Each structure stands twice: as structure tokens, then as C-alpha cells.
Chain A
Amino acid sequence: MIDIQDVHKSYGSLEVLKGVNLTVEKGEVICLIGASGSGKSTLLLCINALESIQSGKIYVDDIEVHAKSTNPNKLRQKLGIVFQQFNAFPHLTARENVGLAPRLVHSKSRAESDELACEQLSYVGLADKLNSYPAQLSGGQQQRLAIARALAMHPDYLLLDEVTSALDPELVGEVLDTLRKLSDSGMTMIAVTHEMSFAREVGDRVAFFHNGVIHEIGPARDLIDNPQEIRTKEFLGKIK
């Protein structure tokens, strides 16, 4: 379980998160929606300690993320994260990309990590691209590569930061299919997304971010079809 309690986060003098509260249960898929700059991506970075917080607490499986005694590198093994772009390491092939962290962090042998890499790459549908370099892959393939890489660490939770926003429209589907497959297999996911149909179909709950806080939260279908708050209605109106 991920427990986020009254988190405040500022970049310099600009406060981006103004008291966020959220609980994510194991197996859930939560989609975060909202306008750009409303703090959604920042929240993801705070969850796995890639960003610090000014006040509040975040717990991942009862480990306090920002406690001084917590080793961030160890913590991040539980949390996979995939970004919008520039994920892939350009100097490594797909299989080397995916095999790197198991080798360095989990101290697996080269053979073991390679096997693991091939397994994960097959899972996301890139079995025929094992020896390709990221520059030789399409945007959608690069994103799936990044997902496979995160999965190779066997995380308990997957954080997804607008992973389809930078893709050409025809490539979005293949990535969403992979995510759907993952959620069906029981992966806990927190996904920042603009894809409303994905949020509606695959998400369990949807949280609408506005002005640094969660303005409205509810079951996916209910919130998207029937938003209660004005701001939520406005936002969804613009998207549709």
C-alpha cells in the first residue's frame, strides 16, 4: 500500500503540491488527471524519492519514503517508473537496457539478467527487437522497452508519467495494450495520463488534480461520466 499524507512540495518559491492525500491499495490502478503543472508528475517523483518534500509523509509498504534512515536506492527497487520520453539508454541495445539494473542492483549474473531481459521484452511484445538500439525503435517501442526495463526489477508498484503523451497517435494503442495486460495481471499502478478512455476502462479510481491538491476522486467510470465538482466538469469538458 502507498500512503500519501498531506504532502507539500515546492520548487524554490513555487509551491506545486499543496497538501495531497491519497491511499493506493495493492492491485489498484489509479489514474491521475488534470491540467499541466497541477503537480501530478511531481507527486510521482516524490513517491520514489526522486524529489524531496517540504512537509507531510509518504509511506510505501510502511516504509517512510523521505525518512533519513531510508535508503532511497533500495526503496526504488520496489517502485518502477516510466517517463514520457528520454527513458531509454541510447548507448545500449534493448536487451542491455533491460538487463542493466538487474545486473548492477540485484547483482544477477550476466546470463541471468539477459534471460530476464528477454523474458520481459517478450512480455511487452519486443521479442524481435532484442538487439536493436533505441534509436532504431519507434516511440511506442521505446516506451514499451522502458516498461519492460521497469518490470525486470519485479517492482510492487508501477509509476507511469504520461507515457503516451509524446507518441504519435497510431503508436499509443500498443502501449496502452501493454498497460492493460499489466493491470489484468494484478500490478498496482499510478498513472498520470490524458487518455480518458484508458482511465475509464482500465482504471479503478481516477483522481482529478487542481491547484496542487486532489480536487475530486472517485471510481473511474463515475468520475469521468459524472463529475461532481465544477472544475472537474470544466476540465473534462475541454478534453472531450
Chain B
Amino acid sequence: MTIDPNFSLKDLIFMAQGAAITFALTIISGAIGTALGFLIGWARTSSSILVVALLGAFIDVIRSVPLIIQFILFNSFMAIADYPLDPFTSGIITLSVYISGYVAEVVKAGIESVPRITRLAARGLGLTYLQDFFYVVVPIGVRTVFPSWTGLMLGVMKDTSLIAVLGATPPELLRASQIVITRVQEPLLILIGAGCFYFFMCAVITKINMRVERSWNITGSTFK
């Protein structure tokens, strides 16, 4: 197995660009998906059975259909509706909605992890529902579910590799790797290289999140 001399610096840069696009897609979809998921998760703690059930059904469907199908379905729907979107926009919307389903469940768990008594104590002091929610529930809940949320964001990064199915250009990392392979014919090395890229990006996100968590743990922010 010889290193094909055709694998040049240009290919490496091409893959690095792919990695940058992967990272950008992750941040954008992750942010939108988290915001949307937060609202849905919050709504799911309401006392309205109808709201909880409807949103629950929505989340159920999102989590039961493969992402590839969601990408294609949304894309072709927009085409039919005479409002065709470019692959990146279509992909980002689909990915954001997809991840919001998972984030919603995590958010709901975080909100419900706050002891009822702590919330009663806050309301007992005269805080309004919203004050209790944003100054007490959210800070506590976020700390509780932060590891799970981090896992979801890492999942987003891996899911960006499917956007290729919509033909998005310039390509994200995995598609870029595939393109290089068709030229250079060293699938094993290039795939392992791509794997290392993903590994590295995941490690960066994990490291940052661990640091955030550590700053919280110093404060002993869990209940004794």
C-alpha cells in the first residue's frame, strides 16, 4: 500500500475546508435547534394536556424517522410548494428541527429536575412565575442536563455528514473526503484522516464543555 503521490496539500486543504463547514453547520443548527427545543421543552411542562400531547407526538415522529428521509422529504416538499430552497438552507432547517426534538426532551428533564419545594420557596418570596423560571429553574436545570445537551451537540456534528445527500456544495467534511477518495484511491487513509478530524472537533467541544462544567462544580451547584 503506497501513498499515492496525487494526494497533495490541496486535498488536505479541501478536507480542512470541509471540516470548517461541518463546524459552521454544527454551530448554526445547534443554536437554532437548541433555541427551538428550549421553547418546545418549556411548553411541554405546561399544565395543558393538549399542548403536552401534541408536542409529544411531534417529538415522537421526529425521533422515529431517519434524518436522511427528513432531509429529502422537506427538500422535495419545498420544491413542490414552488419554493425551492438551496441545499444548505434546507439542510439547516431540517437539522435544526430534528435536533429540537431531542433538545426538548432534555430541557423538559432539566426543568423537572428542580425540586418542587425550591420553586415553592422562590414563589413564596414573591417572585413571579417568570422570575422563578429564569432566575431559579433555568440556572439549576441547565447545570443538571448540560452533559446530555453536550452529547446532543456532538450528535449534530455527526449528523451534518448527511447533508451531502442533498448535494450541498461546497461539501462538508465527509463528502469532501469521499470526493478526494474518488481521485486518490486511498479510502482507508483518507477515511481515518477524516475520522481524526471529527475526533478532534468533538474533543474541542467536549473540552470546552468540561471547563464550563468545572466552573459550576466549584460552586457545588448540585443539591447535597
State if A and B touch, Cβ cutoff 8 Å. Answer: yes
Interface residue A81 (Cβ < 8 Å from any Cβ of B): yes
Write the chain A residue with the least CB distance to B134. A104
B127 near A104 (CB under 8 angstroms)? Answer: yes
A150 at the interface (CB under 8 A from B): yes
Q: Which residue of A lies closest to B114 (CB)?
A: A86
Q: How far is the CB of B142 from chain A (nearest CB, A)?
A: 9
Within 8 Å by CB of B118, from A76, A77, A87, lies A87
Contact flag A150-B224 (CB < 8 Å), given A86-B115, A87-B118, A89-B118: no
Contact call A133/B221, Cβ cutoff below 8 A: yes
18 A-B interface contacts by CB (under 8 A): A73-B123, A74-B126, A85-B117, A86-B115, A86-B223, A87-B121, A89-B139, A90-B221, A90-B222, A91-B219, A104-B127, A105-B125, A134-B220, A135-B222, A142-B224, A146-B121, A149-B125, A150-B124
With A100-B135, A135-B224, A136-B220 given, is the CB distance from A150 to B125 under 8 Å?
Answer: yes
Would you list which residues of chain A between 76 and 94 have a CB under 8 Å from chain B? 76-77, 79-91, 93
Count A-B pairs with CB separation below 8 Å: 89
Instruction: State in angstroms the CA–CA spacing of A240 and B23 once bound together.
Output: 68
Q: How far apart are the CA atoms of A159 and B115 in the complex, in Å?
A: 19
A91, B125: Cβ atoms closer than 8 Å: no
Nearest to B217 among chain A residues (CB) is: A135
> DSSP majority for the B interface?
helix
Count chain B residues whose beta carbon lies closer than 8 angstroms to a beta carbon of A. 25
Interface string of B109-122 (1 = CB under 8 A from A): 00000010110111
Given A104-B131, A134-B224, A135-B220; A89-B125 close (CB under 8 Å) = no
Task: Check if A48 is an interface residue, CB within 8 A of chain B.
Answer: yes
Binding site for A on B (CB under 8 A): 115, 117-118, 120-128, 131, 135-136, 139-140, 143, 216, 219-224
- Asked if B123 contacts A133 (CB within 8 A), the reply is no
Residues of chain A within 8 A (CB-CB) of B140 are 89-91
User: What residues of B have a CB within 8 angstroms of the CB of A50 in the complex?
Assistant: 120, 123-124
Q: Is the CB of A104 within 8 A of B121?
A: no
Interface check A214, CB cutoff 8 A: no
In the assembled complex, A101 has its CB within 8 A of some CB on chain B: yes
Do the beta carbons of B124 and A133 come within 8 Å of each other? Answer: no
> What residue of chain B has the Cβ atom nearest to residue A75's Cβ?
B126
Q: Do B120 and A83 touch (CB < 8 A)?
A: yes
Answer yes or no: A24 CB below 8 A from chain B CBs: no
Of the residues A83, A133, A150, contact of B117 by C-beta under 8 Å:
A83
Whether A105 contacts B127 by the Cβ 8 Å rule is: yes
Q: Say yes or no: is A2 at the interface (Cβ < 8 Å to chain B).
A: no
The answer to whether A91 and B139 touch across the interface, beta carbons within 8 angstroms, is yes
